[in-house]
Structure 1
Amino acid sequence: MAQPIPRLSPDTVQRVVAAAWDELPPYDRIRLEYGVGPGALVQLMKRELSPAAFKLWTARDKKAKRPTVRSTFPYGR
């Protein structure tokens, strides 16, 4: 279950959204500076962004977080 979104001022919400767009992946810095965990950050971004922008942000975040499959073997098979 995701964490509840902490009460933030509108100015702080804008700074969190801007930081989330800047960082790849954004979770560590935002947790330290604003106290917003990963689940709460996703909820906040879903609430603040348009559906198309949220989809772009999640795709960008998922791609930056970790490669799912190695493209090739390091020394061949």
Structure 2
Amino acid sequence: MNRLHVALSESDISRIVEMAWEDRTAFEAIEAQFGLNESAVVDLMRKHMKASSFRMWRKRMAGRTTKHLALRSPAVQRHRASHTRQA
């Protein structure tokens, strides 16, 4: 299901943008949590960022293997933000 057709809250959008900027957060993690595939994340980023910021993000993401689970090394572990609770 593509959630672009479903209204996302401002906090959801903020979290998706944050996750998309993080090097170690794969697009698959965003899809699992919010139901947005990579192209939907790109569309969301384009819509909610200034054009120059979007271009900078796209340039940064181009070819970054850590953004795709199937391409990245097993040595790359999931990033856990310092403000989240460790189990």
TM-score (norm 2): 0.63
Aligned to 2:22: 22
Write the letter of the residue equivalent to 1:50: K
When the two chains are superposed, the root-mean-square deviation of aligned CA atoms in Å is 2.1
Q: How far is the alpha carbon of 1:24 from its aligned partner?
A: 4.8
Following TM superposition, the consecutive aligned residue runs of length 4 or more in structure 1 with deviations greater than 2 angstroms are 23-26
Distance 1:25 1:56 in 2: 18
1:1-77 equivalences under 5 Å are 5=4, 6-24=6-24, 26-65=26-65
Q: Report the structure, 1 or 2, having the larger helix content.
A: 1
Write the letter of the residue equivalent to 1:30: I
Q: Among all aligned residue pairs of Structure 1 and Structure 2, give the percentage whose two residues are the same amino acid.
A: 24
Unaligned stretches of 5+ residues in structure 2: 66-87
Greater shift, 49-58 or 3-12, is seen at: 3-12
Question: Structure 1 residues 24, 64: CA separation in 2 closer, same or farther (over 3 Å shift)?
Answer: farther
Q: How far is the alpha carbon of 1:25 from its aligned partner?
A: 6.5
Superposed CA offset, 1:14-61 (max 9, x none): 000000001357311101111111111111000011011000100011
TM-score (norm 1): 0.71
Q: How far is the alpha carbon of 1:63 from its aligned partner?
A: 3.3
Greater shift, 26-35 or 13-22, is seen at: 26-35
Question: Structure 1 residues 51, 24: CA separation in 2 closer, same or farther (over 3 Å shift)?
Answer: farther
Number of equivalenced pairs = 64
Unaligned stretches of 5+ residues in structure 1: 66-77
